[in-house]
Amino acid sequence: MRRILLVGANGQVGRELQQTLPPVGDVIQITRSTLDLTDTQQIRAVLHEAKPDWIVNAAAYTAVDKAESEADLAIAINATAPKVMAEVAVQQGCSLLHLSTDYVFNGQKNTPYLEADPVNPLGVYARSKLLGEQGIQQVWSTAHPSCSYFILRTAWVYGALGAVNFVKTMLRLGADREEIRVVADQVGSPTWAKDLAGAIAQFIVKSADATPDPSDLSGIYHYTNSGVASWYDFAIAIFEEAAAIGFPLQVQRVVPIGTVDYPTPAKRPAYSVLSGKKTAALLGTHPPHWRRSLRLMLTELYTQTYESTHSIGR
Ligand SMILES: NC(=O)c1ccc[n+]([C@@H]2O[C@H](COP(=O)([O-])OP(=O)(O)OC[C@H]3O[C@@H](n4cnc5c(N)ncnc54)[C@H](OP(=O)(O)O)[C@@H]3O)[C@@H](O)[C@H]2O)c1
The answer to whether 13 and 196 are in contact (CB under 8 A) is yes
Checking DSSP bridges between strand 187-188 and strand 179-183, what pairing results, if any? unpaired
Going from the Cα of 205 to the center of ligand 1, the distance in angstroms, rounded, reads 24
Which regions in the chain score pLDDT beneath 70? Answer: 211-215, 308-314
Neighbours of 187 (CB within 10 A): 21
Measured by CA distance, the residue closest to atom 25 of ligand 1 is 59
The answer to whether 269 and 107 are in contact (CB under 8 A) is yes
- State residue 306's pLDDT score: 87
Closest atom of ligand 1 to CA, residue 73: 31
125 annotated active-site: yes
Task: Report yes or no on 241 lying in a domain.
Answer: no
Measured by CA distance, the residue closest to atom 18 of ligand 1 is 11
Cα distances (Å, whole numbers) of residue 243 to 56, 286, 313? 36, 28, 23
The tally of domains found in the chain comes to 1
Q: Is the CB of 96 under 6 A from ligand 1?
A: no
The answer to whether 121 and 113 are in contact (CB under 8 A) is no
The active-site residue, picked from 61, 125, 223, 271, is 125
Q: Is the CB of 167 under 6 A from ligand 1?
A: no
Task: Report yes or no on 293 lying in a domain.
Answer: no
SS3 letters across the chain: CCEEEEECCCCHHHHHHHHHCHHHCEEEEECCCCCCCCCHHHHHHHHHHHCCCEEEECCCCCCCCHHHHCHHHHHHHHHHHHHHHHHHHHHHCCEEEEEEEHHHCCCCCCCCECCCCCCCCCCHHHHHHHHHHHHHHHHHHHHCCCCCEEEEEECCEECCCCCCCHHHHHHHHHHHCCEEEEECCCEECCEEHHHHHHHHHHHHHHHHHCCCCHHHHCEEEECCCECCEEHHHHHHHHHHHHHHHCCCCCCCEEEEECHHHCCCCCCCCCECCECCHHHHHHHCCCCCEHHHHHHHHHHHHHHHHHHHHHHHHC
Going from the Cα of 249 to the center of ligand 1, the distance in angstroms, rounded, reads 29
Residue to mutate (ligand 1; options 32, 102, 130, 272; most atoms within 8 A of CB): 32
Cα distances (Å, whole numbers) of residue 301 to 167, 192, 249? 10, 12, 15
- State residue 313's pLDDT score: 46
What does R_g of the chain's alpha carbons equal in angstroms?
20
Closest atom of ligand 1 to CA, residue 156: 3
Task: Report yes or no on 155 lying in a domain.
Answer: yes
Q: Is the CB of 40 under 6 A from ligand 1?
A: no
Task: Report yes or no on 37 lying in a domain.
Answer: yes
CA distance 25 to 81: 23
Q: Is the CB of 164 under 6 A from ligand 1?
A: no
- State residue 314's pLDDT score: 41
The answer to whether 66 and 123 are in contact (CB under 8 A) is no
Q: Is the CB of 8 under 6 A from ligand 1?
A: yes
Give the CATH number of the domain where residue 46 resides: 3.40.50.720
Residue type, 80: T
Closest atom of ligand 1 to CA, residue 157: 3
Going from the Cα of 43 to the center of ligand 1, the distance in angstroms, rounded, reads 16
Domain that holds residue 86: 3-162+191-226+272-288
Task: Report yes or no on 10 lying in a domain.
Answer: yes
Q: Is the CB of 224 under 6 A from ligand 1?
A: no
Task: Report yes or no on 125 lying in a domain.
Answer: yes
Task: Report yes or no on 95 lying in a domain.
Answer: yes
Q: Is the CB of 46 under 6 A from ligand 1?
A: no
Task: Report yes or no on 251 lying in a domain.
Answer: no
With CA atoms as reference, report the closest residue to 195 among 244, 140, 156. Answer: 156
Q: Is the CB of 57 under 6 A from ligand 1?
A: no
